[in-house]
Amino acid sequence: MVKELQYGQMSIFTVKKPQLRKVTAKVKTYLFILPAMVILLALIIYPLIFSLSKSLTDFTLGMPGEKFIGFQNYITAFKDQTFHQSLGFSILFSVCVTSVELLLGFVTALLLQRKFIGKRLITILLILPMMVTPVVVGIIWLLMFQPDFSVINGLLSTIGIKGPIWLQHKWTARFAVMVADIWQWTPFFALILLGGLLNLPIEVIESAKVDGASNLQILRYIKIPIMMPLILVVILIRLIDSFKTFDSIFIMTNGGPGNVTEVLSLYIYRSGLPFMNVSYAAAMSYLFLIILIIATTLLIRRLQRI
């Protein structure tokens, strides 16, 4: 009888031991991710909730008290002409620089795919603009576009052309801030697309050559379709990042002349800090976030169809 009881107890323990191990493993898993979750809550979730709550009030930095006003800040943003202009230039800026960077980056990747003397050195030099901080990029191109002693106007003068005052006119100022961004981030496209080109299936390309396909036909009908998912992912990453551009434009033009080069992130900064209207800046930030989410969703859906 005792032996049967002991056997029964042993069977109970043998059943419970694996369950206990599973529970212990789960607890350990949660303990391991707990520090990351605490940091996530402290640095991301709490600021989001805090800013959302402030966007529904008339909170002004440095002023005592605040009043709940609902969606009044969001309604004000929809009626704000400066908000519309800043949003419009942000979209124009992002679309233009991303398109040009994609084109130049793809051409650069095609050139770097070939074998030639100095390829490694050129590839290393290509990375340098990406390593420079946006503030330094802004200073470099601010000096490049100076009207009196800049390199660009100096080169134009050698062929008899008087260079404009680049940063004092609407379209030349917009062109200048776009050139600075294109110079810095074209290598990003080039390096990633180069990796995609180097990993294309050689058998397919060789078969196309045997069938008499030209290099242009191989590029159009084989390389680009195969690389399209990678291209869309790079566009998605860069488009989101270009929407958040702030430093280089702040250094080069500070949104001027007037507000023709003022991107939405710069307008939000000005509303929130110099003018202390934190609640309105928070509301515009959430509208900015919604626009980014919509653009990202559309691109992801396009990516899923491929």
Q: How many angstroms separate the Cα of 259 from the Cα of each of 20, 49, 78, 207, 213?
A: 65, 31, 18, 55, 51
Q: Residue 57, SS3?
A: strand
Residue 18: per-residue pLDDT: 67
What single DSSP character describes residue 164?
A: P
**pLDDT tens series, the chain, 306 aa:** 444 444 444 444 454 566 777 777 777 778 888 888 888 888 888 888 989 999 999 988 878 888 999 999 999 999 999 999 999 999 999 999 999 999 999 999 999 988 888 888 888 888 899 999 999 999 999 999 988 778 888 888 888 888 889 999 999 999 999 999 999 999 999 999 999 999 998 898 899 988 888 989 999 999 999 999 899 899 989 998 999 899 999 999 999 898 999 999 999 999 988 888 999 999 999 999 999 899 888 888 877 776
Tokens of 195: 């990796």
b/e sequence 169-187, b meaning 16+ C-beta within 10 Å: eeeebbebbbbbbbbbbbb
Listed by start position, the domains of the chain span 81-304
| Contacts (Cβ under 8 Å, ≥6 apart) of 100 | 178, 182, 186
Predicted local distance difference test score (pLDDT) of residue 17: 62
> What's the pLDDT at 48?
87
Please report, for the chain, how many H helices and E strands are present, in that order: 14, 0
Single-letter amino acid, residue 55: S
Residues 6 or more apart from 188 whose CB is under 8 A from it? Answer: 101, 105, 130, 234, 238
Q: Decide if domain 81-304 falls under CATH 1.10.3720.10.
A: yes
Q: Which residues contact 255 (CB under 8 A, 6 or more apart)?
A: 249, 261, 262, 263, 266, 267, 270
Q: Which of 119, 108, 257, 269 is nearest to 186 (CA)?
A: 108
- Residue 57's DSSP bridge partners are 68
- Supply the DSSP symbol for 68: B
List all residues 6 or more positions away from 279 whose beta carbon is below 8 Å from its beta carbon. Answer: 54, 55, 56, 57, 58, 59, 60, 66, 73
